[in-house]
Every structure is written in C-alpha cells, then in structure tokens.
A and B are shown apart, each in its own frame.
Chain A
Amino acid sequence: MSKIGLFYSFNTKKTAQSAKRILEAFGEENIEAVNAEDLTGDQFMSYEHLILGVPTWFDGELPNYWDEFVPALEDLDLRGKKVAIYGAGDQKAYPENFVDGVGIMAEIIEQQGGTVVGFTSTDGYAFEQSRAQRGNEFCGLALDYENQSSMNKDRIAKWVSQLQKEFSV
C-alpha cells in the first residue's frame, strides 16, 4: 500500500512534537512527513491517506500556512481520499473555539469530496464550543498541551491505532 502523508508545519513546536509521535507509531516506512509551509496541490494529491496537523490560531482560525493553502485545496478533487486531522488547542483559555482549526479543515476536506476519518470522543475535555465537534465526537484528534499535556501520549497512541484500522494499514 502507498505511504501515508503527514502534513504539518516543520516550524511548529507542539504540532511537530505530536507529528513525531505519530511518525514513530506508524513506523517511518509507512508514513512521510511533508512541510505544510511549502505545500503544493500535487504533493497533497500524491497520497491516498493523509494526516494533517492543524493547530488553532487566535480565536478559532487556521494557521496562516494552512489558510494560504486553502485556495489551492479548493481546486482539488479529494474523492477517494481519507484524511485524518489532529490539532492543538487550549480548552481553558479558548473554550469558545477549542480546536476550531480541526473543524474548519474537516469542512473544507469534505467540501472537496474527501472523507474525514479519525473521529474521537469529546469525553474528558471541558470546553464550550468547537467547530470540530459533531455530536459527542471531534472530527479528529484534539490535543491540549496547555492543560492536559500528560494525556497526549496516550491519546495519540490510541488515535494511531484507530487510524491504522480506518486507513486499513
């Protein structure tokens, strides 16, 4: 099977730290890291299974590097692609927009025909609103380095196991 594309900004700290764990869990032979800062549509389309690291900036926005890729993304036909999204947020300081970035990206992926996978339960989080919330689930993996950093390792491991099934890896 083809490799999984793991897209995140190489200039980040928390998102990159999570990416490292994901890489290790999948095994480097199964996954490739791609810097989201210099992304092209062709790179994006070269993977069947994608994992996107999308932290939330400000009061519920995409980071500039993802935001600047959105116009290109809106030209892509993502039918047949499975996309999983993880992202860091701060549920205490930003309870109204907790991991909104994950939700915004998921909406765009779905709008372009892609299938978003890797939904996780909202149990164990305390926030008010999130664009990533769908019923009792997030449409991706929510990581909180500010308030629940000790839980990240297990959450990532569990999520990777889930993705291995959903990606049929």
Chain B
Amino acid sequence: MAFTDIAVQKRFSIKNTDKETLAKWFELLATGRLLDDRAPNYLKQAIGWSYHAPYAGHDGIQLAIGQVFDKETDHLYPYYRDLLTTFSAGMSAEEIILNGISKDTDVAGGGRHMSNHFAKPEWNIHNVSSCTGNHTLHASGTGRAIKKYKHKGVVISSQGESSVSEGYVYEAINGASNEQLPVIFVFQDNGYGISVPKKDQTANRKVANNFSGFKNLRIIHCNGKDVFDSMNAMHEAKEWAIENSMPVIVQANCVRIHSHSNSDRHDLYRDDYELNYVNEYDPLAKYRRLLLRYKRFTEEELMEMESRAKETVKAAHKKGIAAPDPDPGSIHDFVIGPEYKSEKYPDGTHHFDGPKKKLIEGINETLKAEFRHNPDTFIWGQDIANKEKGGIFNVSKGMQQEFGIERVFNAPIAEDFIMGTANGMSRFNKKIRIVVEGAEFADYFWPAMEQFVETTHDYWRTKGQESPNITVRLASGGYIGGGLYHSQTIEGALTTFPGTRVVYPSFADDAAGLLRTAMRSEGMTVFMEPKALYNAPIAATPVPDDFEVPFGKARVRREGKDLSIFTYGNTTHMCLEVAEQLAKNKGVSIEVIDLRSLLPLDEEAILQSVQKTNKALIVHEDKVFAGFGGEVAAMISEKAFEYLDGPVRRVGSTFTPVGFNRILEKAILPNAEKIEKAVSELLDY
C-alpha cells in the first residue's frame, strides 16, 4: 500500500520564512503573472503565442516545483501550463517570451514546438510533447537512469489532473513503483480537462487516491494555491524520493482562474458563482495579503517589487520582439541524430570467408560485442531475460548472464512503457545507448505507437538538443503460421514518420552490420528482424566480427541486366530463388537488390539499377496497397521515368490481415510463385 498518512514537515510558513526568500518568491510570482497576463496580447497583435494555457490559480505549486528543482542534479518535465514552474526554475522572462512568440532563439527548440511548451534541455528542463502526460513515461525512464548510475537527484514530472486518465500515466507510475525510482509526479488539479469536469474522468475526486494500492509510493496532497503548503509538500517529496529511492505523487489542488487556453471559452460551462469563487482564491492575491497581514513587508515594499517585475517583463518583451525568426531553409536540419560513420565498411559489404552464422547468431553476437564495447548500453523488453530464456526467440540469450541484471532486464507487458522509458533514460546523458525489444512480435507494437511518434519528434523539436538514442528491435513478418498479431509486418506504417530510421535485413551479416551501426549512432533506429529467417540456412552467412553496414546503402545480392527487383526481409530470398530459376530455365538476367535500409533509402542504387535494366519490380511482404513499395515505385516513376520500358510493378501481400490457417497465409503473403508471375509479365511487357 502507498504511504498516505505521513505528515508533511512544515518547513516554511509566513512567519518563519526569511524575508529574502519571501521577497524572491513574490518577485517570481508577480513577474510570472505579468507574463501570463500579457501572453494573450501577443496573439491579439498577431505576433504569436497562439497557444496559451494560463497558469493563474496554480501559482503555489508551480513556484514550489521550480524552487525545489536543481538544474545541477535534477530533471524536470513540465507541461504546457507550467510557465511559472519554468520561470521559478530559473528560466528568464526573455526565454519565456522567446518560446511564447516562437523565435529562433527560443531555448526549447527555436520555435519548432508549440508555444507555451517551455523547456531548456541544457538545464534538464525537458522539452515534452503536447500529448498530455506522456512525459510521465520519460520521467520514469530518467528515474531509472538516476538509479542505475547512482546519481543523487530527482525527476519531477508535472501534469494536469485530467491527463492522469491516460493509460500510460498508470504504466509510468506502476513502473516507478515497481523499480523504486526517485520520481515526483505532480498532479496540478484545477478540476477540469479543458471543459470536462473531473467527475467525468475518474471516480475519486482526488485522482492521486487511485494509486493508494501501489507499493513503494508516497502520496502527498497539498493546496497548490498556497505558496507555503506547496513549498512544504515539494520539499518533503524531493527529500523522500531521494532518501528512499521511491516515487511520490503530489496532488496539488489548484483553481483555473481563466479558460483552459485561448481557444476555450469557460463561460460556456462555468457560471458566475464558480468564476467568482475561483477568483476569490487567487493565490498571488492571497500571498500578497499574507505578506502584509503578518507585517513581513509594507505596501510600499511590495509595490516596489511589482514595479521591478514590470520593468523585467518590459525589457524581456523588447528583446523578444527583436529576436530573429526561424529560417525556413532550416527545416531539414535536425530531423534525426547523426549516424555512426563506418570507415572500415563504407558501402556495407565485405569479403570475409569464415564459417556461416545464422541470422539469430549474427544479432546475438553483435548485441554482446556492442555491450562489451560500450558500458553505457542497456537492453530490456518483455521476456528479455529469465535464466536460460533470453527474449521471446532467444535472440538475447546469455546476455543477462554476461552483463548482469542492471543492464539486461525484463519489462512489464506494456509496450508504451518499454518505449517511453527508453526515451526518458536516453535523456539522462548522451553516452547511453538503449536497445529495446519493442514488443514480443512487431504487430504487438501498436500500443507503443504514441511513444514511437513522440520519440520521432524529439531531435527536430529541440533543434538537436535531445536525441533518443534507441534501437527498437522488432521480430517481424510471417511464414510461421502465426496469424494476426504474430505474422504481420509494420514497416509500411513506421516509415511514414520523419525522425526514425528503419532497417530490415535479410541475411546474418547485414543484420550484424546494421545492428552495430544502429547501436553506435545517435537517434532512433527500428531494427526489423524477419523472424522466419532467424534459424534459416538460406539467411546464414559468414559475418566479420567487426562488420558495419551504413544506413541508406542497398546491397546488390545478384547482378542482372533484364529486370531489377527491389526487396528486403523475407522476400529477398524468394526473389533470389526466382532469379536463379529464371536464369537457369529461361536464360534471363535479373538483378536483385536488397534494400536493407528503408529509411534512409538508397535512391542512388535503385536509380542506377533501373537505368541499367529498364524494368522495376518491387517485392515486399507487407501489403501492396499503402505498403512501403509505393514510395519506391513513386520515386522511380518520378526520377527514372525515361529509363522505364514497362510499368513499375509491385508484389506484396493482399489488402487483408494475415490469416492463421496455413492455407490462408499462403493465399495472402507473397511467395516465389507470385513473384515469378510478376517477373514474367513484366519481362514480356
């Protein structure tokens, strides 16, 4: 059971807090409120800040979060309403305005992300998604890094109470509780998710109480409108989280004085009584009254501080307005982190003639070699390690024995948690390289898609400041009689996202080489493993111990002059078989190019081959309709049209799920017979 009944130590009160601290807080509160109140003016003047979620009413807790955050030791994940949080954490008024009006010098990411998403990655004030609350998974991931590296610090994640309804928030807190991670989850409870009252979110009015059955978790409730109660709660939470290495939920009761954002009109769903009621508890006004009532400051002193706040905002405004706008020519910068450059194998081929290794061995041995090479490597996933079992297909066999449970460990059955914590752990430092088995089978990856999408944004959104250095391994494809969720391949969907690489080897050597490159690169790489080939003799090859395959380098697996086949994964072997048979039986010369890397795609190799053979067939296991081959076909049509002596043809699976019965599977998936038919038709065209 969670720790719910421990009293919070009262460190701060209006009477015992030193005057200097009280003054600092007042200036922060007054300046923050001026910024918050001024934000809509920028929109009215068509300058920017088109998304603004006012924080007024959350003043106490936001001040407190910022005050307990230490940029030297801690990590902060603010949400889109956290203007005062980030200002209190040390960001300047100018930096707040630069983000608000999306200037190139915005420290969050140069105006690439939505306004009111304040961040400063340089200080570990992380740039988070608009997908509300999904940074809780990142917070748990960073907490995991803090624990593994024995770092003394805490992660603070902040969100509105309504976003706790998101399933991933439960996954994040479950993980932090299970792994005992020093993470503070702050729920800023203003009673609404835009217009949805909290009674429509969950049965408990205080959503933190939904977690009261979780072990290794402390729950603290505080008045988020009150500076002292909030300061006491956050200090207690930080101290507890670090001393006990345990997560804490701080639920701060706030009021939302204004509408949710500038696109919302709260008078449509809140009556005058309620609006008066919340206004009456304006936290800034309350703090000001307390300072006067208990004679800590005179009216004149407060007015002087308010005057300074006005000057600060005025000066920041001037600088903000004069700051440069982003350059439209820069949009292609920072789409994904830099890849590892191979010096030994610049084109990703080799002439090594050793004993053949299976594809599964190529992957397993490369994983181990890279773990020996880099002590900052980690791997987790479902079924990843339990005694002799290493992964659902035993790909990671022996790793936990060699590298220990600190680096090789199981994850709960929660794909989004697996991905999200990889993102968060990667943010701890740039040395870390993470491999995850994203799901037991590729087609179970869908629950992780929101974190996958989020992760594709990070590098671009931060202008290269935060790079999720993750290799996502996915056992993919069919030909095993697995049916839905066990036999489908999903690269058609994954390659639609800028911000990731997608590779799909067919042979053991390429699998080893691509995996090494992925694990040494920055950025995310989806590493798709054709599971039907793990132990297949046809996919076995000699594998140089140090092999590397650069991204975006296709490999000519068979040279030819009459027709080009572009393929990858399982179907590469079928295409080679067809080419061999047709050469033998009909004397035609077919070139088979294994794309290996889909994102980035080796356009040069494809176009060169088309120029040579003048006929192009694309073969892949995924559906033809909206499959990856459509992009290849379109590219050929656009850039090599004048070289074509026939239509660009495609062979793939039918536009159906993959059936379980072998008869159905055969009817749906491509095979040598279907490929040969397409080749023959195209040759005859």
Contacts and interface: CB of A to CB of B under 8 A. Distances in A.
Interface string B184-215: 00000100000000000000111001000000
Interface of B: 13-15, 189, 204-206, 209, 223, 226, 253, 255, 277, 280-281, 286, 289-290, 293-294
A94 B14 contact: no
A57 B206 contact: no
Given A64-B286, A71-B294, 19 more contacts: A57-B277, A58-B255, A58-B281, A59-B205, A59-B206, A59-B253, A61-B223, A61-B253, A64-B280, A67-B286, A68-B290, A68-B293, A71-B290, A72-B294, A94-B205, A96-B204, A96-B205, A96-B209, A97-B205
Interface in A48-85: 57-59, 61, 64, 67-68, 71-72, 75
A71 B15 contact: yes
Contacts of B13: 71
Contact of A71 (B14, B255, B286): B14
- Looking at B205, B277, B280, B290, the one whose CB has the most chain A CB atoms below 10 A away is B205
Given A59-B253, A61-B253, A68 B205 contact: no
Nearest to B226: A67
A52 B185 CA distance: 36
Contacts of A96: 204-206, 209
Interface string A92-125: 0010110000000000000000000000000000
A57 B281 contact: yes
A6 B286 CA distance: 24
Nearest to B228: A71
Contacts of B289: 68
Contact of A68 (B15, B253, B286): B286
A96 B206 CA distance: 9
Contacts of A61: 223, 253
B281 A64 contact: yes
A69 B226 CA distance: 13
A113 B255 CA distance: 33
Nearest to A97: B205
B25 to A, nearest CB: 16
Contacts of A71: 13-15, 290, 294
A57 B223 CA distance: 11
Contacts of B281: 57-58, 64
Contacts of A67: 223, 226, 286
Nearest to B15: A71
Contacts of B255: 58
B669 to A, nearest CB: 56
Contacts of A58: 253, 255, 281
A32 B112 CA distance: 63
A158 B32 CA distance: 50
22 contacts: A57-B277, A57-B281, A58-B253, A58-B255, A59-B189, A59-B206, A59-B253, A61-B223, A64-B281, A64-B286, A67-B286, A68-B286, A68-B289, A68-B290, A68-B293, A71-B14, A71-B290, A72-B294, A96-B205, A96-B206, A96-B209, A97-B205
Contacts of A57: 277, 281
A75 B15 CA distance: 10
A59 B13 CA distance: 22
Contacts of B206: 59, 96
A67 B227 CA distance: 12
Nearest to B223: A61
* Top 7 A-B residue pairs of the complex, sorted by shortest distance between their CB atoms: A71-B14, A64-B281, A59-B205, A58-B253, A96-B205, A71-B15, A64-B286
A94 B290 CA distance: 28
A150 B281 CA distance: 30
B177 to A, nearest CB: 23
A113 B601 CA distance: 78
Contacts of A59: 189, 205-206, 253
A72 B226 CA distance: 16
Nearest to B198: A59
Nearest to B14: A71
Nearest to B273: A13
A90 to B, nearest CB: 11
Contacts of A68: 286, 289-290, 293
Nearest to B10: A74
Interface string A143-165: 00000000000000000000000
A75 B293 CA distance: 14
A71 B678 CA distance: 85
A68 B204 CA distance: 28
B299 to A, nearest CB: 16
Contacts of B15: 71, 75
Q: Which of A68, A94, A96 has the most CB of B within 10 A?
A: A68
A72 B295 CA distance: 12
Contacts of B14: 71
Nearest to B285: A64
Interface-central residue, A58, A67, A75, A96, by most chain B CB under 10 Å: A58
A67 B204 CA distance: 25
A21 B223 CA distance: 32
A83 B13 CA distance: 25
A153 B205 CA distance: 30
Contacts of B280: 64
Contacts of A97: 205
A94 B289 CA distance: 29
B198 to A, nearest CB: 9
Contacts of A75: 15
B108 to A, nearest CB: 32
A58 B204 CA distance: 14
Contacts of A94: 205
A67 to B, nearest CB: 7
A61 B255 CA distance: 12
Contacts of B293: 68
A107 to B, nearest CB: 11
A33 B205 CA distance: 35
Most B CB contacts (10 A, CB to CB) among A64, A75, A94 go to: A64
A124 to B, nearest CB: 23
A67 B223 CA distance: 11
A59 B197 CA distance: 13
A61 B221 CA distance: 11
B444 to A, nearest CB: 38
Contacts of B209: 96
Contacts of B253: 58-59, 61
B190 to A, nearest CB: 10
A119 B155 CA distance: 45
Nearest to B294: A71
A79 B206 CA distance: 36
Contacts of B294: 71-72
Nearest to B281: A64
Residue with the highest number of chain B CB atoms closer than 10 Å, among A57, A59, A67, A75? A59
A59 B255 CA distance: 11
A156 B205 CA distance: 29
A68 B290 CA distance: 7
A97 B205 CA distance: 9
Contacts of B286: 64, 67-68
